[in-house]
Amino acid sequence: MIPVNTPVIPPEAKTFVNDCLDTGWISSAGSYLQRFEEDFAKYVNRKHAIAVSNGTVSLHVALAALGIGPGDEVIVPAFTIISCLNAILYTGAIPVIVDVEPDIYTLDPNQLEKAFSPKTKAIMPVHIYGHPADMDPIIEFAKKHNLFIIEDAAETHGALYKGKNCGSFGEISSFSFYANKLITTGEGGIVVTDDDILAEKSRDLRNLCHLPGQRFHHKTLGFNYRMTNVQAAIGCAQLLHAEEFFNRKRKMGKLYDEGLAEIPGIEITKIRDWATSSYWMYPLRVTEKSGMTCKEFQKKLKEKGVDTRDFFWPLSNQPMLKDFDVRVLPCPVSEKIAIEGCYLPSGLALTESEIKKVIETVKSIM
Ligand SMILES: *Cc1c(COP(=O)(O)O)cnc(C)c1O
C-alpha cells in the first residue's frame, strides 16, 4: 500500500534529541526551544515566534492574545479542520462560517460583506493543501472595518502569496507541526507575529500567565500549552532541511499536475498566478463525468494499493454546531467539494516511481 503520508526525519534529529536526553533538558526549557523559535521566525519573516504544543492551541493562543472573547464574532471558512472552529469557541466568541472559492478551496472574499456585523472582530483565513488564500481583498476588507487577521498557515510552510511568506500576513499567524505537515515536531504548533505586545501575551498565555518577577502569582487565566525541548530539537533538525523539503514537495506536486491534467472526470487544482504553492497534500475532485462517486474512486484505488484521505467535512455541516452559538452562511461550494474530493499520497518519503504508479492507477480506474 502506498500510504498517504510518511514523514522524513533527518539524521540531525537523532543527534539533537540525544543531546536533550544526555543533558536532561527534556521539558519546556532548553536551548533547542529558543533556537527553534528564532529559526522559525526567520524562516517565515516574522519578528517573534512562540512555540506551543500543537496547531490547534496555537490558534487559541492567537485569538486570546488579541483579546477575542464572548460577544465577538470571528469569520472563518467552512472548508477547514475543526481546530479553527474549536479555537474560536474556546474563547467564547461566535464563529461566522462562510463559503470558499471553488478552485482553491480558501475563504471567498466576496462572502465577507454578507458575514460582517457590528460584532465582527476578526477574520481567520486558512490556506488549504499548500495553496494560499487570496489575501489582498481579505486584508483590504479587514482594514476598512478595523478587523484583526489571524492567519492559519498550518498547511503552507514555505508557500508564498505574491512573493510574501504565508504566515507573515495580518496581526498574528499560526502553524502546526503535526507529523504530516511539511515541518514536523511530532506534535507541535507556533504563533508568529511582528507585534511585541502580542508576542508577550502569547508567551504568557502559553505558560499560565505568571506575573513577571512574581512566580505563582497569576495575572489572568492562562494555559499550559508549552512545547518541549525534545520536540523543538526535532524541529531544529527539520528546519535545516526546510528548503530541500519544500522543493521536493513542489517537484512531486508538479509530477502529479502533469500526470493528471487531462483525465476526464478528474479535476485538479489550478495554481493561481500569484501563488507559490507548497503542494502540502495533493487534492483532486471526482466529477460527474467520471460516472462514479469519490468514495467509489477511493475504494478502487485502495484495492489497487493506493491510500487516500477524505476532504474536510465542512464546518457548516458539523453535528456539534447544535450546541453552540454559531452563525452559518450558505456554503454550497464547501458542501459540494467535501463530497467530490480526496487527496492522494503526498508524504515527503514518496518516490518518483510511486507517484507514477499512483498516476497510472488513477488513469486505469478512470
Ligand atoms: C493541521 C492543521 C491544524 C491543527 O494542527 P494540530 O497540530 O493537528 O492541532 C490547524 N489548521 C489547519 C488548517 C491544519 O491543517
CATH number for 17? 3.40.640.10
Domain enclosing residue 97, as ranges: 11-239
Amino acid code (one letter) for 341: G
- Is 2 part of any domain? no
Give the pLDDT band of residue 43 (cuts 50, 70, 90). Answer: very high
Say which residue the cell 476532504 belongs to: 311
Tell me if 189 CB under 6 Å of ligand 1: yes
Q: Which residue from 250, 55, 272 is spatially nearest to 151, judged by alpha carbons?
A: 55
pLDDT score at 231: 98
Q: 115: which 3 cell numbers? A: 458575514
Q: Which of 213, 239, 265 is the last residue of a domain?
A: 239
Tell me the mean pLDDT in the region 74-100. Answer: 98
Q: Which atom of ligand 1 is nearest to the CA of 80?
A: 13
Tell me the mean pLDDT in the region 18-36. Answer: 97
Cβ atoms 119, 68 nearer than 8 A: no
CA 19 to CA 230: how far, in whole Å?
9
First to last CA, the chain: 20
Give the pLDDT band of residue 39 (cuts 50, 70, 90). Answer: very high
Cβ atoms 182, 158 nearer than 8 A: yes
Tell me if 154 CB under 6 Å of ligand 1: yes
pLDDT score at 111: 98
> Do residue 223 and residue 296 come from a single domain?
no
pLDDT score at 71: 96
CA 65 to CA 46: how far, in whole Å?
17
What whole-number percentage of the chain has pLDDT above 90?
99
CA 73 to CA 66: how far, in whole Å?
13
Q: What are the distances in angstroms from CA 224 to CA 37, 44, 329, 359?
A: 18, 25, 34, 45
CATH number, residue 247: 3.90.1150.10
pLDDT score at 18: 98
Give the pLDDT band of residue 320 (cuts 50, 70, 90). Answer: very high
> Do residue 171 and residue 259 come from a single domain?
no
Q: Which residue from 288, 281, 289, 356 is spatially nearest to 311, judged by alpha carbons?
A: 281
CA 234 to CA 16: how far, in whole Å?
7
Tell me the mean pLDDT in the region 101-126. Answer: 98
* Inter-helix orientation angle 55-65/196-206, to 10°: 130
> Do residue 182 and residue 254 come from a single domain?
no
Q: What are the distances in angstroms from CA 79 to CA 108, 140, 236, 257, 311?
A: 11, 22, 31, 22, 9
Report CA(56)–ligand 1 centroid distance (Å): 6
- Is 1 part of any domain? no
Q: Which residue from 102, 130, 178 is spatially nearest to 335, judged by alpha carbons?
A: 102
| Digit-coded pLDDT (tens) for 187-213 | 999 999 999 999 999 999 999 999 989
| Digit-coded pLDDT (tens) for 262-290 | 999 999 999 999 999 999 999 999 999 99
Report CA(80)–ligand 1 centroid distance (Å): 9
> Do residue 115 and residue 222 come from a single domain?
yes
> Do residue 115 and residue 264 come from a single domain?
no
> Do residue 135 and residue 197 come from a single domain?
yes
Report CA(225)–ligand 1 centroid distance (Å): 15
- Is 340 part of any domain? yes
- Is 93 part of any domain? yes
Give the pLDDT band of residue 351 (cuts 50, 70, 90). Answer: very high
HEC sequence for the chain: CECCCCCCCCHHHHHHHHHHHHHCCCCCCCHHHHHHHHHHHHHHCCCEEEEECCHHHHHHHHHHHCCCCCCCEEEEECCCCHHHHHHHHHHCCEEEEECECCCCCCECHHHHHHHCCCCEEEECCECECCECCCHHHHHHHHHHHCCEEEEECCCCCCCEECCEECCCCCCEEEEECECCCCCCCECCEEEEECCHHHHHHHHHHHECCEECCEEEEECCCCCECECCHHHHHHHHHHHCCHHHHHHHHHHHHHHHHHHHCCCCCEEECCCCCCEECCCCCEEEEECHHHCCCHHHHHHHHHHCCECCEECCCCHHHCHHHHHCCCEECCCHHHHHHHHHEEEECCCCCCCHHHHHHHHHHHHHHC
Q: Which of 208, 239, 270 is the last residue of a domain?
A: 239
pLDDT score at 12: 98
Q: Which atom of ligand 1 is nearest to the CA of 177?
A: 7
Query: What is the average pLDDT value for the chain, to the nearest integer?
Result: 97
Amino acid code (one letter) for 160: L
pLDDT score at 137: 98
| Digit-coded pLDDT (tens) for 216-259 | 999 999 999 999 999 999 999 999 999 999 999 999 999 999 99
Q: Which atom of ligand 1 is nearest to the CA of 180?
A: 1
Nearest CA to ligand 1 atom 7: 55
Cβ atoms 65, 198 nearer than 8 A: yes
- Is 345 part of any domain? yes
Tell me if 51 CB under 6 Å of ligand 1: no
Give the pLDDT band of residue 308 (cuts 50, 70, 90). Answer: very high
- Provide the domain count of the chain: 2
Q: Which of 222, 239, 256 is the last residue of a domain?
A: 239
CA 127 to CA 134: how far, in whole Å?
9
